[in-house]
Amino acid sequence: MKEKEVNKETLRTIGSSIGLIALETQDMDNDDIEKQAKFLFHGDLHNRWFDKCITLSVASSAVVGANVEHSALDATVAGQMWEYVMTDEEYDERGRVIEPFRNQRAFPVAPPTHLQWDLNGLEEDLEHSKAHLRQMIADSDLVVIQTYGKAVPKKCRLSPDGWFQMAMQLAHYRKYNENVLTYESATTRLYYKGRTETIRPVTEKSVQFCKAFDDKSVPPEDVKKYLKEATDLQCRYKMEAMRGLGVDRHLFGLYCVAKGTNTDPLPDLFTDKAFNLRFNLSTSQTPVRTTDRWRLERSSVCGGFGTVTDNGYGVSYLVYDDYVTWSVHSKRSSPRTDSQEFAECIRQAMDDLRRLFDA
């Protein structure tokens, strides 16, 4: 097919942009966080450009949210930008920026232009793509719930992040009678061009805690001790990962070198079963309070991401003192997963942890 110059120019314009703004014809339900999350995740199919690192979706009511693609940046960057947007400007009732914010950082903006497309001869490809996207959206199982916040584990003198991670481990153990390889992200932005490292919250201590929790022969004080040991170990691993002492990125780099230099056979480490296990539980805490401008009344209420495996879960949790918003995602096509059931398992585990401490 002869190259279509108009399409090349449009794609070049989009590719050179910082991000996109999607002006939606539909509205977000301001009272339903789960519907808002689905709206921002995929919308109605036609108005997302997932190859860009960030798309700001503006609903017809002017409610705004963001869809971020992970390759170019991490959630900490998007979170800081989002916090700045929500806290650094003031608006009047008509949505206009008021003084003194109007000219605080003024810079010239080019007038909008209508990008052109020549779609002749592409109709079949477009229909195929739309059918594929419809199937992906139909397969997306996203559930959002809220529980109590970090004030409870702090009252119990335990790490809030460790508490939430162990709640997920307990929830998974109860539902599936096993603990699986679990990913938790750690930021390495203490370093120049630092991105992320892997925290592995599943340890002998976490498994011991999960097995003991519902065992009536184990005294509650022992369960508390196992929980503290598990959260302390998770917290230590997290701090080591943030300081550049994690193992996953290093091993992945060595793997890429071995593949890139056509090393044959690959070192035994890279063909070992343990190295090739999937992260069937992928977790991450949505970053908030990244700037000194932060105000609760102008903060995000939810963040989330999709599962990274066909038979697993992607769980994001946004933490405040009084509540945590959990986003649980899986695929409906999986015979193993059910986001609603797992979200309720997390809720039950959180309630049982609080009951253990009478907190």
Kindly list the catalytic residues: 70
Cβ burial 279-312 (10 Å sphere, 16+ → b, else e): bbbbbbbbbbebeeeeeeeeebbbbbbbbebeeb
The alpha carbon of residue 244 and the mean position of all alpha carbons in its chain are separated, in whole angstroms, by 21
Cβ atoms within 10 Å, residue 264: 6
- Cis preceding linkage at 153, omega within 30: no
CB 30 within 8 A of CB 61: yes
Total count of residues recorded for the chain: 359
CB 150 within 8 A of CB 285: no
